[in-house]
Amino acid sequence: MALKNPDAIAAVVTALRLTYGDETARAMLVGGMNLAALIEAMFSASVERRDAVRYVASALDDFAISPEPGPV
């Protein structure tokens, strides 16, 4: 399956690995994580805040989200 936003996914995975370590990041990606943990990792990363928000918003298209988000 092709990713819609591979650069955003790479940024998210890198931020998770740097924030939580390889094993924990792998477990979070496989087993699931809450959005707060994802945002915390992205804001801890060495990227601008606006880029962190853009990466999260772009990467969400490639992640399985449960429960499905409703209309805003």
Asked, for residue 69, whether it belongs to a domain, the answer is: no
Give how many domains the chain has, as a whole number.
1
**Residue 37 structural domain:** 6-59
Q: Is residue 66 part of a domain?
A: no
DSSP 14-36: HHHHHHH-HHHHHHHHHH---HH
pLDDT of residue 15: 92
Residue 12 domain-assigned? yes
pLDDT in tens, 17-70: 999 999 999 999 899 888 888 889 988 888 888 888 888 888 888 887 777 767
Q: What is the pLDDT of residue 67?
A: 73
Give which of 25, 30, 23, 1 is closest to 14, Cα–Cα: 25
* pTM of the predicted model as reported, rounded to 2 decimal places: 0.78
Residue 42: inside a domain:
yes
Tell me whether residue 41 is in a domain. yes
Q: pLDDT: is 72 or 27 the higher one?
A: 27
Domain membership of residue 67 (yes or no) is: no
